[in-house]
Amino acid sequence: MLRSLALLASGLAAVQAAEEWAVLVAGSNGYSNYRHQADVCHAYTLLIERGMAAERIITMVVDDAAPDSDNPFPGKLFNQPWKTMEEAQDVRAGCKIDYNGSKVSPAVFKQVLLGNRSAGGRVLQSTAEDHVFVNFVDHGAVGLIAFPDGQDVLTATELQTLLKDMHSAGLYKQLTFYLETCESGSMFTALLPQALPVYAVTAANAHESSWGTYCGDDSTVGGKNLDTCLGDLFSVNWLQDTTAHPGQESLEMQFQRVKNATTKSHVQRYGNLPLFQKESVSDFQGHGQSLLTATQAEERSVVPGSMISSHDIKLQYFYRRYLKSRSTEDAEALQREIQDREGIKRLRESIAAHVAGSTGRNAVVADKPLPRDFAWTAPMLACHDSALRAFGRHCGWKEGNLRVSTTLYHLCEETAADAAPIVKAVRTQCQEQAVFV
Which active-site residues does the annotation give?
Answer: 139
DSSP 134-157: EEEES-EETTEE--STTS--EEHH
Judged by DSSP in three states, 295 sits in helix
- The C-alpha atoms of residue 357 and residue 141 are separated, in whole angstroms, by 26
Backbone torsion region of residue 183, taken as left when φ is above 0, otherwise alpha when ψ lies between -120 and 50, otherwise beta? left
From the list 343, 366, 372, the residue with the least C-alpha distance to 414 is 366
Contact call for residues 242 and 46 (beta carbons, < 8 A): yes
Q: In terms of C-beta density within 10 A (0-12 exposed, 13-18 middle, 19 or more buried), how is residue 4 classed? A: exposed
CB–CB of 230/38 below 8 Å?
yes
Cβ-proximal residues to 221 (8 Å cutoff; 6+ apart), any chain: 73, 78, 81, 82, 85, 88, 230
Q: Are strands 154-155 and 144-145 parallel, antiparallel or unpaired?
A: antiparallel
